């Protein structure tokens, strides 16, 4: 029997199917499955065995490779997140919630790269050119030699880019692009996938750096299929809480540099300003030592960052106690609570637990475990930790403390910011530590006994 060549995919989660149905098995969304037209157009491909391919040239692993040429924007926080500047012929996806400041960031980046001599084109599919110009004026960047277009037709955009041959093209946003060979609506999975594919292929073919802006869904994924993330070389997320002025640009994937690197910005009336010393900023609103407040000495990418963790523990009026986390992983919190209960005999049943990372920062390092445990205990016992102390270390399910990576860097940063002591797992590498009083422990029970005088 001839197999149907039609394929369908879910416009919510990107799962693909070979027949249509009303509800996606992948994510449970209704009416989200659409036919992938255009993508599979053309004659069915011949079996690979039918025709002989030509042989591919092989090289040795030891072949000398010149590092890719890079261009700096001069915005240090951006250049570092890119892995040390913009790589030619690379495709970069910048994702973030609507309104977080992606267009602002990329307009500033465009202007800076243009002023450094890169021929730069900014294509907005969301705003009229006049709006982009007004923003540029507000940012004082209207004299930068950036070429603007307000367009959503992918074919026209690609033709323009072929003609203009820029060094850098910014597409804001990938969800507004419309490929006329794909029948579904702009923003659908098929459209986003087709547009991303064409633009990344163009970047490689013509040696142009292409930046795609992508919106993030409420589930925290770049809307459209995950496959866009696989297509590009670099994926950056622009994060932050709406109510806070801090914005964090985080590399979650980078073929040309370290992932997990962060750049910190502050949203001001005049656009995004670089924050070169984020620890000082994250700790700037910290008051006198209080119960439930702990400073975690973290590492983001290659950089140490100190943040304040705040916990509140209170008797719960509900039959099911609440666990609320902002800026950290809820599952990890449940694990720490379970370890405290099972290994140290400190129950949290019947108590509401709230945990917050101050300043709108998101922490994902396991090394925050001990700081979280300290904040929880401090809140529960209503005892403040010793003043000017930083805490870090990973907690294992057995209650043992595991040394964190880059102990040295964490301690140096803490000392630089005026902290005088640190609580850390035993066994971390601490050669020549900068005058900080180091209090090392090997398990959680020891920590509880020493700091809170209980077991």
Candidates 85, 96, 301, 403; binder of ligand TYD (CB under 6 A) is 96
Which of Mg ion, ligand TYD, none binds 399 (CB below 5-8 Å, type-dependent)? none
Q: With respect to ligand TYD, which residue has the nearer C-beta, 96 or 224?
A: 96
**Residue 90 near residue 71, CB atoms below 8 Å:** no
**Residue among 105, 99, 109, 97 at smallest CA distance from 362:** 97
d(CA 1, CA 156): 41
Neighbours of 175 (CB within 10 A): 21
d(CA 116, CA 181): 37
Q: With respect to ligand TYD, which residue has the nearer C-beta, 224 or 403?
A: 224
Distance of CA 197 to the CA centre of its chain: 22
Residue 200 binds Mg ion, judged by CB under 5 A: no
Count the residues of the shown chain that bind ligand TYD, applying the rule CB under 6 A.
15
Which of Mg ion, ligand TYD, none binds 271 (CB below 5-8 Å, type-dependent)? ligand TYD
Candidates 211, 235, 267, 309; binder of ligand TYD (CB under 6 A) is 267
d(CA 336, CA 370): 9
Q: With respect to Mg ion, which residue has the nearer C-beta, 103 or 254?
A: 103
State in angstroms the smallest separation of the CB of 99 from ligand TYD.
5
Residue with tokens 């975690």: 296
Q: Name residues contacting ligand TYD, limited to 44-73 (CB under 6 A).
A: none
State in angstroms the smallest separation of the CB of 234 from Mg ion.
19
State in angstroms the smallest separation of the CB of 104 from ligand TYD.
3
d(CA 291, CA 149): 54
Q: With respect to ligand TYD, which residue has the nearer C-beta, 86 or 105?
A: 105
d(CA 188, CA 300): 34
State in angstroms the smallest separation of the CB of 200 from ligand TYD.
21
Mark the segment that binds ligand TYD (CB under 6 A) among 147-155, 267-275, 298-306, 326-334. 267-275
Tokens standing for 239? 């994060």
Mark the segment that binds Mg ion (CB under 5 A) among 100-108, 162-170, 246-254, 400-408. 100-108
> Mask of contacts with ligand TYD, 129-148, x by CB under 6 A?
------x--xx---------
Which of ligand TYD, Mg ion, none binds 370 (CB below 5-8 Å, type-dependent)? none
Candidates 9, 11, 32, 104; binder of ligand TYD (CB under 6 A) is 104
Q: With respect to Mg ion, which residue has the nearer C-beta, 103 or 356?
A: 103
- 379: β partners: none
CA dihedral 277, 279, 265, 310 (to 10 degrees): -170
Within 30-81, residue ranges assigned H as helices are 76-81
Q: With respect to ligand TYD, which residue has the nearer C-beta, 228 or 423?
A: 228
Computed over its alpha carbons, how large is the radius of gyration of the chain? 26
Candidates 9, 32, 73, 103; binder of Mg ion (CB under 5 A) is 103
Residue 251 binds Mg ion, judged by CB under 5 A: no
Per DSSP, which regions of 132-245 are E strands?
A: 146-150, 168-172, 209-215, 234-239
**Residue among 115, 332, 357, 86 at smallest CA distance from 207:** 86
Which of Mg ion, ligand TYD, none binds 331 (CB below 5-8 Å, type-dependent)? none
Q: With respect to ligand TYD, which residue has the nearer C-beta, 267 or 307?
A: 267
Neighbours of 418 (CB within 10 A): 9
State in angstroms the smallest separation of the CB of 236 from ligand TYD.
12
SS3 category, 162 = helix
Neighbours of 291 (CB within 10 A): 17
Residue 269 binds ligand TYD, judged by CB under 6 A: yes
For 245, residues 6+ apart whose C-beta sits below 8 A from its C-beta are: 266, 267, 268
**Residue 13 near residue 29, CB atoms below 8 Å:** yes
Residue 216 binds ligand TYD, judged by CB under 6 A: no
Q: With respect to ligand TYD, which residue has the nearer C-beta, 106 or 414?
A: 106
**Residue 401 near residue 394, CB atoms below 8 Å:** yes
SS3 category, 194 = helix
Which of Mg ion, ligand TYD, none binds 138 (CB below 5-8 Å, type-dependent)? ligand TYD
Residue 243 binds ligand TYD, judged by CB under 6 A: no
The alpha carbon dihedral of 142, 144, 145, 146 has a sign of negative
Q: Which positions touch Mg ion (CB under 5 A)?
A: 103
Q: Which positions touch ligand TYD (CB under 6 A)?
A: 96, 98-104, 135, 138-139, 267, 269-271
């Amino acid at each position: 029997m001839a197999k149907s060549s039609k394929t369908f995919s879910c416009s919510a989660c990107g799962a693909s199917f070979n027949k249509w149905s009303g509800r996606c098995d992948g994510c449970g969304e209704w009416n989200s499955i659409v036919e992938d037209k255009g993508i599979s157009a053309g004659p069915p491909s011949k079996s690979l065995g039918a025709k002989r391919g030509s042989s591919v040239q092989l090289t040795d692993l030891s072949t000398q490779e010149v590092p890719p040429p890079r261009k700096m924007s001069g915005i240090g926080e951006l250049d570092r997140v890119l892995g040390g500047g913009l790589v030619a012929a690379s495709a970069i996806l910048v994702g973030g919630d609507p309104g977080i400041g992606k267009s602002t960031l990329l307009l500033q980046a465009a202007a800076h790269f243009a002023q450094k001599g890169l021929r730069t084109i900014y294509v907005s599919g969301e705003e009229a050119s006049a709006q982009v110009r007004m923003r540029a004026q507000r940012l004082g960047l209207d004299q930068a030699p950036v070429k603007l277009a307000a367009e959503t037709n992918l074919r026209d955009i690609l033709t323009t880019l072929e003609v203009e041959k820029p060094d850098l093209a910014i597409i804001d946003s990938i969800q507004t692009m419309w490929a006329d060979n794909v029948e579904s609506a702009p923003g659908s999975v098929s459209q986003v996938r087709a547009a991303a594919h064409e633009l990344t292929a163009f970047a490689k073919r013509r040696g142009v750096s292409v930046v795609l802006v992508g919106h993030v869904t409420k589930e925290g994924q770049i809307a459209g299929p995950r496959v866009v993330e696989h297509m590009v070389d670099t994926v950056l997320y622009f994060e932050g809480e709406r109510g806070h002025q801090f914005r964090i640009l985080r590399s979650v994937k980078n073929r040309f540099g370290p992932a997990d690197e962060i750049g910190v910005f502050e949203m001001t009336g005049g656009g995004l300003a670089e924050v070169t010393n984020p620890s000082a900023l994250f700790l700037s609103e910290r008051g006198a030592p209080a119960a439930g407040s702990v400073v975690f000495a973290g590492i983001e990418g290659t950089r140490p960052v100190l943040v304040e963790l705040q916990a509140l523990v209170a008797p719960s009026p509900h039959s099911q106690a609440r666990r609320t986390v902002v800026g950290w992983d809820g599952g990890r919190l449940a694990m720490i609570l379970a370890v405290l209960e099972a290994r140290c005999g400190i129950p949290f049943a019947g108590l509401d637990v709230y945990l917050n990372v101050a300043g709108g920062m998101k922490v994902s390092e396991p090394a925050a475990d001990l700081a979280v445990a300290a904040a929880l205990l401090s809140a529960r016992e209503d005892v403040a930790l010793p003043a000017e102390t930083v805490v870090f270390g990973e907690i294992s399910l057995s209650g043992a403390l595991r040394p964190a990576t880059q102990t040295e860097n964490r301690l140096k940063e803490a000392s630089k910011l005026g902290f005088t002591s640190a609580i850390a797992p035993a066994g971390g590498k601490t050669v020549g530590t900068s005058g900080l009083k180091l209090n090392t422990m090997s398990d959680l029970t020891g920590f509880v006994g020493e700091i809170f005088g209980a077991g």
